[in-house]
Chains A and B, each alone.
Chain A
Amino acid sequence: MGMDSLARVINTIRRGKVQVLEISSKLGSNGDINIAIRVRGEESEIEWLRKKILVLVDVTSVEVL
């Protein structure tokens, strides 16, 4: 599922009205993937993105820093 989960997240980001500055992902030994995305955009758009990613079936949590 690893790459598919990542692709699902990327597909969601594609639809966001934000400028993507950086994406990195790390596959953990337990199969978890940690994805870090640095974006620029209006707060409401970032919030849209956070919620849209959170509702994906294979996402466990989203943190906005």
Chain B
Amino acid sequence: MHILVIPFGDALGTRGDGHGNSVKIRAADALVRAMKNLGVRHLFGIPGGSIMPVYDALYDAEDIKHYLFKHEQGAIHAADAYGRITKKPGVVLVTSGPGATNLVTGLANAYMDSSPLVAISGQVATPILGRDGFQETDIIGVTFPITKLNMQVRSPDDVVSAFTTGYIVSTEGRPGPVLIDIPRDVLLGSTGSIEPIPKIHPKTFGGEPGREEILKALRLLLNAERPVILVGGGVCWSGAWDDVITLAEILWAPIVSTFPGKNCVPNDHPLYLGPSGMHGRLEADAALANADVVLAVGTRFSDRTVGRFKEMNTKAIIHIDIDPSEIGKNVRTEVGIVSDAKKALKAMLRELPSAIQEEYNRQHSGRRSFIAWLKEIRRKYEEYIEAKAGGMKPFAPWKVLKVLRRTVPPSTIVTTGVGSHQMWCELHWDVYIPGTFITSAGLGTMGFGLPAALGAKIAASNRPVMLIDGDGSFQMTMNNLSLVRDYGLPIISVIFDNRALMLVKQWQIYMYSRRVIATEFTKNPDFVKIAEAYGIEGYRPSSYEEIENIVRRALRTDEPVVIDIELDNEKDIVLPWVKPGEWLTNAVPPEGLEVDLVWRG
């Protein structure tokens, strides 16, 4: 266990007047000063009565830029994406009551995707606490299960230490969201001394992995006939993609990923087959389903990735994760290594030359035929969809993605909403540079994409940012378009417009005997006009070439744009698809494509 040493004095930035006398300042001012000293340069939020002291303190804080959102959900999703790009917590400021409760979805989203952020909510003054005051909500009680840590500060002297603790805890070990609730009178109170928050023990599990575990894992991998590496989001946080690639190349092991793991390995690497699972690639499903040994790195083994746990438990699983509670949670592990992904993979690479090289060489040729078979599945599928694209009017969604991919630079950050467009991205968006694909994977939060794109642009203003959204998802948070012009955030917004909650409709078609209800929109707003209302150019292209031209122009002029891509909502069905609770080899392929996902040697 690692006990954190918190730089309380540094965080405040002052411990006296230089003559041994303590200087008292307003707690809200001390908080803002602590933010500055910790390197916070951007804040996301909406002011209100209880948080006003902090806003007042920000009045003179020229080093910190505040982004005013129209709804707290937008602010927290932006902070979430900001944290994923910068690897530092995004900081959110909201008021009490509805301001705080509007954070709930964003906190849960960040919690599920292990994203670092610190949310500060104002609270009613302490004499009113518990008296059902105006805009009082027990936000601590509300957010226990969806925060890594939450705390209510009751003394001005605890404000800075609470924030500093929360800031560090949110990135320590497995990242996650922290909420700090501060009553208005506490923010207005004076502080001169900084008291540590008692009984907080941030801890990082798993320093250097044990040599015995590493050797055992290597023996399993070297003796395997069909080893497969499953990459999860933890690889990104750890920055371990080079190590994954090196290990895969040495072992000649195919790489598959979870959906967030797609962001953690260059998708154009020859050994990367794509994400497996509910809306994964057929070749990735086949690889994972037919593997005899699985090296899983930084993943929680979601049902969404593996379909069914029963069959997974027939494999020898080596599981590396920084969170000990993930080891053995969903699948039985042969070797569990509690460690940072990079540390564990580096240790494996160090030990590899001394491991049983001879045994590995013996197996090598078998692995090549396994990979060749998986590549053949890919070839069949790609050929099939290429042939089918012409029949989808006006656009085939996957072809739109291919056009976009070849038009925007590799460093472009892409965010998505949630729905069928997102699943098309899972299947067909190639992430060339790890860390450039931001999506709501765990919670599946519709409306995440647009505010996340804003947060990404704030974090990386020199890189193009493109939102790929669905019409249903976009409409949940499209008020965030106002920030594009307010703050000069030129994002490219592409809307896959099928005038339906298409993924839900797909379930109704396949699992509820086509009883389609409450998933088709009778009439959409005109997204081109919506864009224009926010001072952004909007387009409704009629050809792939036109899409390419619009995007090229937006990139060249560094101007925002909204592109409404109309899709046929009868044909926009995302296949292949592993139905909930099904095993990977039972993936439903697109109609007319015949493919056997069981390896027969």
Which A residues form the contact surface with B (CB < 8 A)? Answer: 1, 4-5, 7-8, 11, 15, 31-32, 44, 47-48, 51-52, 54-55, 57-60
Contact = CB atoms under 8 A, between A and B. Distances in A.
Tell which of B149, B174, B205 has the most Cβ of chain A within 10 Å: B149
B150 A55 contact: no
A32 to B, nearest CB: 7
Given A11-B144, A55-B205, A48 B199 contact: no
B144 A31 contact: no
B560 interface: no
A1 B198 contact: yes
Interface stretch (B98-106, B321-329, B465-473, B546-554): B321-329
A4 B152 contact: yes
A3 B323 CA distance: 25
Contacts, number: 51
Contacts of A1: 151, 197-200
A7 B144 contact: yes
A44 B202 contact: no
A7 B151 CA distance: 11
Chain B at the A interface: mostly helix, strand, loop or mixed? Answer: loop
Given A51-B325, A52-B325, A58 B145 contact: no
A60 to B, nearest CB: 6
Contact of A11 (B145, B151, B323): B145
13 contacts: A1-B197, A1-B200, A4-B140, A7-B141, A11-B144, A44-B328, A47-B328, A48-B325, A48-B329, A54-B325, A55-B324, A57-B200, A58-B149
B502 interface: no
Given A4-B150, A58-B199, A51 B324 contact: yes
Contacts of B150: 4
A16 to B, nearest CB: 12
Interface in B302-329: 323-325, 327-329
Given A4-B150, A57-B149, A31 B325 contact: no
A31 B199 contact: yes
A5 B151 CA distance: 9
A1 B201 CA distance: 12
Contacts of B140: 4
B320 to A, nearest CB: 16
B148 interface: yes
A8 B324 contact: no
A52 to B, nearest CB: 5
B453 interface: no
A43 to B, nearest CB: 11
Interface in B172-231: 174, 197-203, 205
